[in-house]
Amino acid sequence: MKTKDLYKILGVDRGASQEEIRRAYRKLARRYHPDANPGDKEAEERFKEIQHAYEVLSNPEKRREYDEGPRTFFGGGRPGGGFGAGGFSDLSDLFEGFGGLGDIFGRAGRRETGPRRGEDVTVSVSLRFSDALEGVTTRVSVPVEAVCEPCRGTGAAPGTAPRRCPQCEGRGMRSRDQGLFAFSEPCPACGGRGVVIDRPCSACGGGGRVRTNRRVTVRIPPGARDGMKIRVPGRGSAGRDGGPPGDLYVVTRVEEHPVFKRRGDDFVVEVPVSFVEAALGAEIDVPRPEGGRLRLRLPAGTQEGRQFRVRGAGAPKARSRGGERGDLIVRVHVVVPRKLRRREREILEAFAEERGEDVREELFKKVESWT
């Protein structure tokens, strides 16, 4: 066989690093692999060359010998003319780092054996605004997989017990050759559990768990907001084969208040004030989120949209243990009368004449300065 330059086969320089050689091999192996080119003899031969070049150049000792004197390494080959993995134990190594393909090939068919944790369960609960603000204890219906009582979770009919799987000897997995590679897969006899059940429990069908609705008491903390997720440890589905249970997650759905808008731990409320109150200043009543009123002092000349922050009058901070609360943000809305009596009009006209101001003068000055 004619000697071929192994570096040229992989498309790398003689001074290439091991990482560069590895990357080049991966790229070419994916392209010319027989599984990707069924029936293509040319691709098959090319893959053999690529594989052989990598086996030599990825081994420091073999690479040194090759570099010291031109030699042909194609004479050996593998018994039977089969393909090796070029230093990779299976396809998961070959495709490692390429968009998750390593996970696809390396974990396909794998299954955990032994005790397994139960699934987490998520439910939602609807809350009134006042209950979310003050906190409440409520009961929720939770659909879970619970331990089958008749068989106590074993899956075997009462009076019987599972026995160790004779095919996998209790391991739950078996090795199988698939062309070029050997890989593990769940034992078909026991489904990966490591045990077989001769007489399945009639209540659960051999699964060891049954579907049921469980009533769970949940404490909603004061200040709960819409979409808040509360974890209740151990109240999810039962584990399998003696594994621990999953957790319960309760998501709050809080009704929207027509007046108070939630913003973090703060509440925003828009309060109407009269033209006179805004102009002269006044003390006004402002509603509290939990009920009742508080007094707020408006300075003279308060403008539309101005905001006042009342510290500690917002929502309780749900994650806090010190009783901290957010703030109440009061946004002023100046109400302009739609209709005026004759006397009111005369007063305002006199006021305008007394002021004699052009409130748009500065606006036009700014525009003119930019033209």
Binding residues for Zn(2+): 148, 151, 165, 168, 187, 190, 201, 204
Q: At 366, which helix (H) or strand (E)?
A: helix 361-369
Pairing of strands 163-164, 229-232: unpaired
Q: At 61, which helix (H) or strand (E)?
A: helix 60-68
Closest CA to 236 of 228, 244, 227: 244
Amino acid identity at 134: E
Helix, coil or strand: residue 94 = helix
Helix, coil or strand: residue 342 = helix
Q: Residues marked as binding?
A: 148, 151, 165, 168, 187, 190, 201, 204
Pairing of strands 328-335, 266-274: parallel
First CA to last CA across the chain, in angstroms? 85
CA–chain centroid gap for 233, Å, is: 19
For residues 22-49, one letter each, b for 16 or more C-beta atoms within 10 angstroms of the residue's C-beta and e for the rest, the string is: bebbbebbeebbbeeeeeeeebbebbbb
Report the distance separating Cα 185 and Cα 109, nearest Å: 5
Pairing of strands 181-186, 248-254: unpaired
- Name every residue whose Cβ is closer than 8 Å to that of residue 98 and which is 6 or more positions away in sequence: 26, 30
Report the distance separating Cα 174 and Cα 176, nearest Å: 7
Helix, coil or strand: residue 122 = strand
- Name every residue whose Cβ is closer than 8 Å to that of residue 154 and which is 6 or more positions away in sequence: 161, 162, 197, 201, 208
